[in-house]
Amino acid sequence: MEVSQVFQTIDAHTCGEPLRIIVSGVPPIPGKSMLEKRQYFRDHLDPTRRILMLEPRGHDDMYGCVITDPVREGSDLGVLFMHNEGYSTMCGHGVIALVTVVVQNGMIRDSSNIRIDAPAGLVKARANMDSGRVKDVTFENVPSFVYAKDLRIENTSVDIVFGGAFYALVESSVPIDGSHLSELRDLGMRIKHSIERSRDVVHPLDTGLHGIYGTIFTGPAKSAGSHKRNVTIFAEGEVDRSPCGTGTCGVVASLVERGSLRLNEPFVHESIIGTTFVGRAIALTKVGKFEAVVPEVTGSAHVTGYHTFVVDPQDPVRTGFRITKPSNL
């Protein structure tokens, strides 16, 4: 068989949400910042995203990343996150899975102090060890804040929060479970697009961080010990199986803003499948004119496989496809 490209990946999941880490098959990615690296990947290497995220090697809810050289001084590694629509500025579940993989595979020395250079900023993480393996991972995210409150969008009240990416935050009017997923997905995308049509959402300190990444629906928890249940609809209708790491940071910022969560108080966030992250605000700060928090999130990840993917130049769908968008063929 003729092969035109070969990629090696390590696959994992964080609380049910996948992460496919590309470890070989990608050339060096230039750029003076992680946002520049992301733009270069989008402009020159996007077929790699399509090949490894979309069918037939991936699926419509696949998520992935590529490890790069860092740009910020003192960082251990850089990372670019990707999905069915394009590229993220930050990903909490991705950080948890990435740290688990690099520590368990001996790719980094100090598991207690890992500095990750992401497009949204510097993320600090530590692997919490138990009997020589990673039990769970805690990461300190970029400052998170409430960008706007009590907007009326699609006949519902919406806050806009930033937790490494911008989200619409909504108290769900329907149960957060699999039987209502199509309704949540449809409404989530309508809210996202309605906000983007009506206003420019831009980070006050970095105009490269802009736009609504997804919609977070929250509601009553189902499990004892959890405080809220959520599902995040992001990118082009993707459904986060985990409690969403950057989304949890945005929710923590909102709870602190509204006086419902104290500094260093744990907040247990439950996913649509019942898995949990523990978030907390460990410090107060400011981002431009906005009152903000420094959030911390803890969650666990597990490796699911080590893969070698090849591209057959005779394969008619070699560059990947989405069945919901047949024009991509």
* Residue (of 117, 140, 110, 103) closest to 302 by Cα position: 103
Cα–Cα distance between 3 and 324 in angstroms, integer? 28
* Residue (of 82, 91, 27) closest to 52 by Cα position: 82
Q: Check the CA dihedral 68-69-71-73 and report its sign.
A: positive
The residue behind tokens 């400011």 is: 286
Q: Name, in order, each residue with C-beta under 8 angstroms of 289's C-beta and a sequence gap of 6 or more.
A: 204
Catalytic positions: 91
- The answer to whether the beta carbons of residues 151 and 305 sit under 8 Å apart is no
Cα–Cα distance between 138 and 95 in angstroms, integer? 9
Q: Check the CA dihedral 265-146-237-173 and report its sign.
A: positive
Taking only Cα atoms into account, the Rg of the chain, rounded to an integer number of angstroms, comes to 19
Cα–Cα distance between 133 and 47 in angstroms, integer? 35
CA–chain centroid gap for 125, Å, is: 15
* Residue (of 254, 68, 94) closest to 161 by Cα position: 254
Burial of residue 98 (number of CB atoms within 10 Å: 0-12, 13-18, 19+): buried
**For residue 148, how many other CB atoms are within 10 A of its CB?**
16
User: Terminus-to-terminus CA distance in the chain, angstroms?
Assistant: 22
**For residue 6, how many other CB atoms are within 10 A of its CB?**
11
